[in-house]
């Protein structure tokens, strides 16, 4: 039996490029695709990866990119109407960019009716075709699996072809259009304004009820007999002075000194920042500068409360602009 030579050990001076699969003798950078091997470059490539692939005969082994990277390439002019690509909206089949849903509108063309379209539009104004992209980096957009002739009985193939098509995975749900988001925002603002108006009306009614329930002067008795003509007419009784016109007697020495007014508690830093945010006097830069020395001495509960306040600063500014 002939001796089998042992497997050769990998040459440490040659590295396998994780981006294109080429073997490079340069330990820092690939000689084929010019990609760097350091951890930050690997992470940057991971962040830009996605299910979109651009056909490039010079670099056929490059990984796919995300929709955000594809959109930036369109803006820079690196993708034109004749560029061949594939992605979730083409079911991973090659197609021209001018006929690819969610990409053609970035080039100013509707993929369905070929009419002019705006890059930031959510649907075609002519044929109402949706331009909503699939931004999930893990969703390839493949078509569902169907049986082919010869893989099963004809009855099973016919029954499988009649089943409804599987919808996109939960992570690939399309975001609502900007029109519905604007309608929801306007409805929430109107509802909050109506709530504030109702509270103001109820407070006004409570004040009126309090004033009406205040004690008033008793009316003059009506059962006194009328004076006779022979009897001398009594001097007219002066009308009772109004309660508001009665002046209190001057204080005497024995009068008890009035209690001092309760001192108002000093305003906390959170209340001060919330008030300045509502009044529009505190910018994000001033807020960060003011909170920098306070963050080091905060407990976890106080830090969580500050995070909640910072998350509500945009809401406080919008409420300050309400009529």
Average pLDDT, consecutive stretches of 10 residues, N- to C-terminus, the chain (323 residues): 58 80 90 90 90 91 91 93 94 94 93 91 91 86 83 80 54 58 86 86 78 54 49 53 52 54 63 72 72 74 76 65 51
Angle, alpha carbons 14-15-18 (nearest 5°): 160
Strand partners, 53: 86
- pLDDT for 150: 82
Pairing relationship of beta strands 23-24 and 15-16 according to DSSP bridges:
antiparallel
Strand partners, 65: 49
- pLDDT for 323: 47
Contact 56, 62 (CB under 8 A): yes
Please state, in angstroms and rounded to a whole number, the distance separating the CA atoms of residues 86 and 75. 18
Burial (Cβ within 10 Å: 0-12, 13-18, ≥19) of residue 308? exposed
Contact 81, 97 (CB under 8 A): yes
Angle, alpha carbons 23-24-26 (nearest 5°): 160
Does the predicted model carry a pTM greater than 0.75? no
- pLDDT for 90: 93
- pLDDT for 217: 44
Angle, alpha carbons 134-114-60 (nearest 5°): 55
Please state, in angstroms and rounded to a whole number, the distance separating the CA atoms of residues 131 and 100. 10
- pLDDT for 86: 95
């Amino acid at each position: 039996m002939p001796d089998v030579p042992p497997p050769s050990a990998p040459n440490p001076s040659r590295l396998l490029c994780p981006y294109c699969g080429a073997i490079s003798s340069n330990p820092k950078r690939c000689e084929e695709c010019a990609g760097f091997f350091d951890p930050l470059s690997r992470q940057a490539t991971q962040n830009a990866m996605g299910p979109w692939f651009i056909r490039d005969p010079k670099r056929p082994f490059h990984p796919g990119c995300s929709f955000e990277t594809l959109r930036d390439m369109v803006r820079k002019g690196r993708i034109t109407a004749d560029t061949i690509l594939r992605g979730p909206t083409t079911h991973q089949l090659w197609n021209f960019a001018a006929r690819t849903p969610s990409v053609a509108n970035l080039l100013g063309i509707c993929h369905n009716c070929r009419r002019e379209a705006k890059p930031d539009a959510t649907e075609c104004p002519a044929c109402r075709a949706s331009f909503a992209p699939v931004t999930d980096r893990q969703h390839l957009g493949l078509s569902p699996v169907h049986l082919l002739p010869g893989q099963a009985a004809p009855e099973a193939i016919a029954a499988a072809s009649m089943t409804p098509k599987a919808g996109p995975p939960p992570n690939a749900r399309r975001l609502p259009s900007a029109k519905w988001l604007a309608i929801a925002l306007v409805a929430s603002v109107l509802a909050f304004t109506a709530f504030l108006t109702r509270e103001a009306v109820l407070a006004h009614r409570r004040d009126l009820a309090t004033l009406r329930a205040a004690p008033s002067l008793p009316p003059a008795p009506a059962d006194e007999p009328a004076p006779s003509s022979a009897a001398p007419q009594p001097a007219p009784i002066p009308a009772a002075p109004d309660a508001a016109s009665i002046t209190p007697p001057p204080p005497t020495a024995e009068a008890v000194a009035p209690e001092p007014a309760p001192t108002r508690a000093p305003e906390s830093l959170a209340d001060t920042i919330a008030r300045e945010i509502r009044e529009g006097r505190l910018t994000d830069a001033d807020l960060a500068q003011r909170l920098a020395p306070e963050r080091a001495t905060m407990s976890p509960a106080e830090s969580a409360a500050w995070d909640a306040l910072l998350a509500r600063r945009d809401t406080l500014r919008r409420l300050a602009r309400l009529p």
